[in-house]
A and B are shown apart, each in its own frame.
Chain A
Amino acid sequence: MRLLINLAIAIAIAVIVGFGSAALVLDRERMFGAVTRGAWTAWPDTGSADADPYTAAMLARTGEVPLGAGEGLAFSADADDQGSRLNGGCTYRITGQTPPARLWTLTVYDGDGHLMENPAQRTVFHSREVLRHENGSFTIAVSRSAQPGNWLPVTTEDRFRLILRLYDTPLAGGATIGAIVVPAIERVGCP
Chain B
Amino acid sequence: MRIKKIMAAAAVLLLLLAAALSAGGGKPESTVIVAGSTSVQPYAEMLAEEYSILYPEREVDVQGGGSSTGITAALSGTADIGMSSRELKGDEENTWNAIIAKDGLVVIVHPDNPIGDLTVEQVRGIYAGTFTTWSELGGTAEHKIHVIAREEGSGTRSAFESMVMDGVMITPTAIVQASNGSVRQLVGSDRNSIGFISLGLVDDTIKDLKLDGISASWENIMNNSYMLFRPFIFVANVEPSGPAKHFIDFVLSAEGQALLTREGLISITEGAQ
Answer whether A and B are interacting partners: no
